[in-house]
Amino acid sequence: MIAQVLGHLTNLVSLSLNARAFGTQGEMDAFLAANRVSETLFALMAGGALGSAFIPTFTGLLTKGERGTAWKLASAITNLVLAVLTLAALLAALFARPLVRYVLAPGFASNPQLETLTVNLLYIMLPPAAIFGLSGLVMGILNSHQVFFLPALTPALYRLGMIFGVLVLSPRWGIYGLAWGVLLGACLHLLCQIPSLLKLGGQYIPTFGLRLPAVRQVGLLMAPRVFGVAVVELNFWVNTRLASLMTEGSVTGVSWGRTIMIMAEGVIAQSVAVAALPTLAAQFALGKMDDLRASLAASLRGILLLALPASLGLILLRQPIVALLLQYGKFDAYSTQLIAWALLWYAAGMVGHCIVEILSRAFYALHDTRTPVLVGSIAMALNVLLSVVLSQWFEKIGWMPHGGLALANSLATGLEAGALLLLMRKRLGGIQGRTVLDASLRSGLATIAMGLALWGWGLAAQGMSAWLAALGGVICGSLVYALVILTLGVPEARRLTGWLLRKVRG
């Protein structure tokens, strides 16, 4: 979690510098649209293999003492993912212009310069897809060996590459400098993990391992997950497509609003889920189902205790937070309004996103990729439908339509989280539901108290600078929430307080 915080702080710096240099103008829309292709390729291959198939299978082999087979598997999957991503990137480069014009951002066709800019940026940002694919699998190998801190720092190094691009390269090359910064950041993302990988003493084998049973198992587990990721990415493409048809800056508004929400969600849920997956997979491999239920329940309690106040805090403090982080240079008050509007509706779905993070990985640990993929596919299909309907409805009632895209995502993800929770409870014969419900109720009471405090702070902070309004609200809300949580006797809060006291005394 500490590494996640450092990574997201670096992301905030990068986001702030990008906002200062480019604001929410058309060239930033073009950059984000072009980067969508590379992110999709990475999510489809490396993301699908890493999260759902590779880590559980690789961890299972290590747990059973089959170290040689485990490294053959790692080599084969690395070679396969690298080959497929390289081929896909070449095809995307070959058909770049029709891809942008007819699929990704048809709204840019009315501005030939913007369309050409998007195509040129796409050429630069396709190679990082293959680099990220390799880096993602290295991260999976390290996580399987219970090495988490350095892999969790890699996003910070990626953002450092982007920071270098915007500070050093962009003054001369404009938005192209930021694109080259993406390529530099991808290289840093991979290279920083190599020393830790070499320390494991594994062996690389130049083979695709198509006859290796473990490779076929990864393929079988990965196939439904790739389909599920494709459905999720389709939603992002639909959002980009719809936003490109809206007012200038809408693509950036949707993307950056979600980015700010994901920063908080990543610190809360992704850090817990990434650390929990190898443990859950090992417990399942050893048949320790009681331990698995306890680990999952503890993860859910911890996530809910943090996600509920974070969600409401972002909703109530969205305007000063966005202004504090981004409103500099070319990023003006209207740009703040664009991002804050999307953040409002994305933050409403944060709890659902956090629950999905841990429950989907719990299913992967059980070697079940079909259930979360099926549920996620239905949810994302609903997301696409809601995106069209809600964006049109928002526009009809005079609201900025890109907020409807964010609300659609929150509603669909909330339904997905509820369905996964019910199915996991049935699969495990219970997940210590009383303790999870107890944590939710106590956190809910504390969140209500925090919300009242922030409402009062909002009235008192009118006319204050963004710095005072945002930071004062965060401090006020955090103190009230912590005080109420301790008063209600939440076990996790007591253990954390005791641990801090012991550290201070020590």
Lowest mean pLDDT among 40-54, 294-308, 436-450: 40-54
Q: Which residue's structure tokens are 């009242």?
A: 452
Kindly state whether residue 207 falls inside one of the protein's structural domains. yes
CA distance 219 to 126: 24
Of 6 and 308, the structure prediction assigns the larger pLDDT to 308
Q: Tokens 């996964």 label which residue? A: 420
81 inside domain: yes
| 421 within domain boundaries | no
Confidence band (pLDDT; 50, 70, 90) for 413? very high
What token pair was written down for 360?
């989907």
Q: Are 305 and 440 in contact (CB under 8 A)?
A: no
The pLDDT tens digits of the residues spanning 162-183 come to: 999 999 999 999 999 999 999 9
How far apart (Å, rounded) are the C-alpha atoms in residues 157 and 165? 13
Least confident of 95-99, 171-175, 197-201: 197-201
Assigned domain for 367 exists: no
Extract the tokens encoding 335.
Answer: 């740009």
Residue 348 located in a structural domain:
no
Under 8 Å between Cβ of 36 and 104: yes
Largest distance between two CA atoms of the chain: 68
Mean pLDDT value across the chain: 88
For residues 345 and 407, the answer to whether their CB atoms sit within 8 Å is yes
Tokens of 259: 């980015």
Judged against a pLDDT cut of 60, whether residue 19 lies above it is answered with: yes
- Structural domain contains residue 412: no
Closest CA to 243 of 342, 364, 355, 105: 105
For residues 202 and 485, give the distance between their C-alpha atoms in angstroms, rounded to a whole number: 46
Count other C-beta atoms under 10 Å from residue 497's C-beta. 13
44-53, 392-401, 428-437: segment of lowest average pLDDT: 44-53
| CB-based contact 283:292 (threshold 8 Å) | yes
What tens digit of pLDDT does each residue of 322-368 get? 998 888 888 989 999 999 999 999 999 999 999 998 898 888 888 88
- What's the pLDDT at 25? 85
Instruction: Indicate whether 458 pLDDT > 80.
Output: yes
| The predicted structure's pLDDT at residue 495 | 80
* CA atoms within 13 A of residue 257's CA, in its CB half-sphere: 35
Give me the helices (H) in 23-126, please: 26-42, 48, 55-63, 67-94, 96-98, 112-125
> Which pLDDT does position 45 carry in this prediction?
67
Could you please report the per-residue DSSP string of 239-291?
A: HHHHHHTSSTTHHHHHHHHHHHHHHHHIIIIIHHHHHHHHHHHHHHHTT-HHH
Q: How confident is the model at residue 407 (pLDDT cuts 50, 70, 90)?
A: very high
Q: Which amino acid is at 42?
A: F
Task: Indicate whether 202 belongs to any domain.
Answer: yes
The count of structural domains within the chain is 1
Domain hosting 35: range is 26-224
Domain annotation covers residue 484 = no
**What does the pLDDT read at residue 47?**
57
How far apart (Å, rounded) are the C-alpha atoms in residues 310 and 30?
31
